[in-house]
Amino acid sequence: MNRSSWFLFVSLLLGLVASPGANPKGLRGTKHDFACAACHNIHHPKGQFLWATPLANQSSNKVPLTPSDAMCYSCHQEEHKGGKFFMPGHSHPINVVPSDKVKIPKILGTTMVEGVGRVITCVSCHDPHSANPKFLKITMKDDLLCRACHVDY
């Protein structure tokens, strides 16, 4: 590849990566109308996952947070389970151990429970890299997400 072609290739590549309008998950027009930089920052990262903000270390009710919950609570920290984006009747407590009556379905993946105590976390129901505007792992239509674990629901 000659020098001119190489320069053109690198310029195009940088233009694509640095495009300010990039929104790879297609969430335009939603409350989560952002791209990777909302949570990650390659230039001044905080921690191993290149976080864009310092992580919360506990919830508003003083519950210690798992690493995944710490990132969520960096923006969603308030009195309610989901912070200012909490919807009454549509949230779940975090940092609780699921009872024996709860089945952990494979569809929710290996992050259903995490940490030393194998507790429910934000990423038990949400996938922060999902194209779904609410970042839900599966739909709430007909309460499918709740019924995935709560078979008696």
* Prediction pTM value: 0.63
The 10 Å Cβ neighbour count of residue 115 is 16
For position 140, what pLDDT does the model report? 82
For position 1, what pLDDT does the model report? 60
For position 109, what pLDDT does the model report? 64
Q: What is the pLDDT along the chain (153 residues), one digit of tens a residue?
A: 666 555 555 454 444 444 444 444 445 555 555 677 777 777 877 777 777 777 777 666 666 777 778 878 777 765 444 444 555 556 777 777 888 777 777 666 655 666 556 778 888 888 888 777 778 888 888 888 888 888 776
For position 77, what pLDDT does the model report? 66
Close Cβ partners of 119 (under 8 Å, ≥ 6 residues apart): 66, 94, 95, 96, 97, 113
Bridge partners, 119 (sequence order): 114
Identify the CA nearest to 93 among candidates 116, 120, 61: 120
CA distance linking residue 54 with residue 67, whole number of Å: 12
The secondary structure of 87-116 as a DSSP string is -TTS---SSBPPPTT----GGG-TTSEETT
For position 31, what pLDDT does the model report? 55
